[in-house]
Structure 1
Amino acid sequence: MNIELELLNLHRTEGGAGPFVLGGNERVHVFTLSQRRKSEWSYRYTFTWSRGDITARHDDSHMYRLPFALGKAFSVGQSCNGNFTHTGPHRFAVDFNMPEGTAIHAARDGVVVDLKENSRSGGPGEQYKDQGNYVVIQHADRTLAQYFHLRPGGAEVRLGDRVRAGTLIGYSGNTGQSTGPHLHFDVIRGTKTVKSETLPFRFVTAQGPVRCPPRGTTLRAVK
């Protein structure tokens, strides 16, 4: 999170200038403002934030399980640098085509730090961008895995739950900005701007490690 201050007769006497890394439901003293002289004072502020820790460093040696049940196979609908939504800071992401209600399993050990399951809206337009249901899991290296477009009421975990790779975490759907039922998966960290940054990662498959599988590829989940 970044905070921009407009101060009249005030100055910062404690704390830093940011950016600040805040945990969920955490109260943190970020700075103190003090009066410069005995006269009128005022302040205004604006803030921007991105999901994820800007100090996170991805463990590139880690191999992610495919985010569905062992033995199941699904095709890739959109991969890295896809021309629909996987562009710019969102480029390292994979969409799996799958029917609504498909069981979604954690791709890596971690802690559930965010979720949404109350949306019933979805469609291809940008007006649906913030309407997707999701589960977000933090890993040991402080990166986050995002599992998007879950069905309404589709989370099988709660905030604070610790999960192992392979744990059932929810069910796929078609909520949010979506052209059809699928699961969007990516790994992110925070940035100093309003957007989070997706990170390259590798899936373990029967054919060996796969990074950014081409569109149309069918991948089967293995241990």
Structure 2
Amino acid sequence: MKIYILSFLLFFSFRCGFSQLRVKTYYENAKDKTVFYADNNENCVVSIKIKLQLENLHSSVGVEKIFVLPANTKQIELTTLTKIDKDKKYKVSGSTWYNYGNHFQKKYDTEFAYSLPYLKGESYCLYQSYNGSFSHQNKRQLDFTMPIGTKIVAARKGVVIKVVDKFNRHCGTEDCEKFNNLIYIFHEDGTIAEYVHIKRQGAKVRVGDQVKKGQVIAESGNVGWSTGPHLHFSVFLQRLGGAREYVKTKFELADGLQPGYLVEKEKYTKDYN
């Protein structure tokens, strides 16, 4: 069947969340139907939600649905629209939202032992732990106090999916969160690690890089929502709409101790690579 690009027959408006994601949505016309597709050009799975407003049209998946797009995939069919009454006018409009990760994911590797995110032989204090009193209320996030320029290493192997290191501004209020420099790494179990407040032009990796556990990925800083030099680290599952499910992470500890959770205000020395 010969495929034609549909140009003026339908009106379709996509309002996309997280527009920096490399996701493309488009449609093609084939005889009496219109097929909507998506390309996921990201190096990790992406979730996409479509919501349609239809007039005299039938959607093969209904008017609202969430899809999970595998990494680096093309022409994934989202829905097929067919005309109900061929003698009447018809139109479609709609919106999409998309995020990194699998919106439906529940399971992940709860026993994985993460590496402390700095070099062997160095020691840093965990200034704030899970549910911290300053800025981690009801969140499973960690803050390591460390000087600007400290080498940050990947706590777990994965693929780099986002890098921001262009900002140099900081303050102690949430207004400065938009200036956070950061790196996101997507893990094989579907979780995402974030390394935040890295120094301006401090990233040592690029989007698409495969990184090993213990590999240097950045230099720490004091950028964004920050009251002093530190590294903010957390692991999460991303949900559509911007919500996150933060997960607890065990770490490899010194002196042959069993992996465990870190304790606020404790100092941790890394004696392994």
* Greater relative contact order (Cα < 8 A, sep 6+): 1
Question: What displacement does 1:23 show?
Answer: 5.6
Distance 2:212 2:244 in 1: 24
- The RMSD of aligned alpha carbons is 2.3
Distance 1:184 1:80 in 2: 12
Distance 2:269 2:136 in 1: 22
Between 1:166-175 and 1:54-63, the stretch displaced more is 54-63
- Tell me the residue number matched to 1:177: 225
Matches within 5 A, 1:1-223: 1-13=48-60, 17-22=64-69, 27=74, 28-38=76-86, 39-54=88-103, 55=105, 57-88=107-138, 91-206=139-254, 207-211=257-261, 213-223=262-272
Question: What displacement does 1:147 show?
Answer: 0.8
Distance 1:85 1:3 in 2: 34
- Structure 1 residues 35, 194: closer, same or farther in 2, change over 3 A? farther
Contact 1:50/1:195 (<8 A) preserved = no
Distance 1:124 1:2 in 2: 35
- Amino acid in the other structure paired with 1:220: T
Distance 1:137 1:186 in 2: 11
For residue 200 of structure 2, give the secondary structure of its aligned residue in structure 1: strand
- Amino acid in the other structure paired with 1:31: T
- Amino acid in the other structure paired with 2:260: V
- Tell me the residue number matched to 2:20: none
Question: What displacement does 1:64 show?
Answer: 0.4
User: Under a length normalisation based on structure 1, what TM-score does the superposition of the two structures give?
Assistant: 0.87
For residue 66 of structure 2, give the secondary structure of its aligned residue in structure 1: coil
Mind listing any 5+ residue stretches in structure 2 that lack a counterpart? 1-47
Question: What displacement does 1:70 show?
Answer: 0.9
Equivalent pairs: percent with the same residue?
Answer: 34
Distance 1:64 1:208 in 2: 12
Contact 1:16/1:30 (<8 A) preserved = no
Distance 1:41 1:123 in 2: 52
Question: What displacement does 1:154 show?
Answer: 1.1
Mind listing any 5+ residue stretches in structure 1 that lack a counterpart? none
Contact 2:163/2:184 (<8 A) preserved = yes
Distance 1:16 1:23 in 2: 22
Distance 2:94 2:117 in 1: 41
**Max Rg structure:** 2
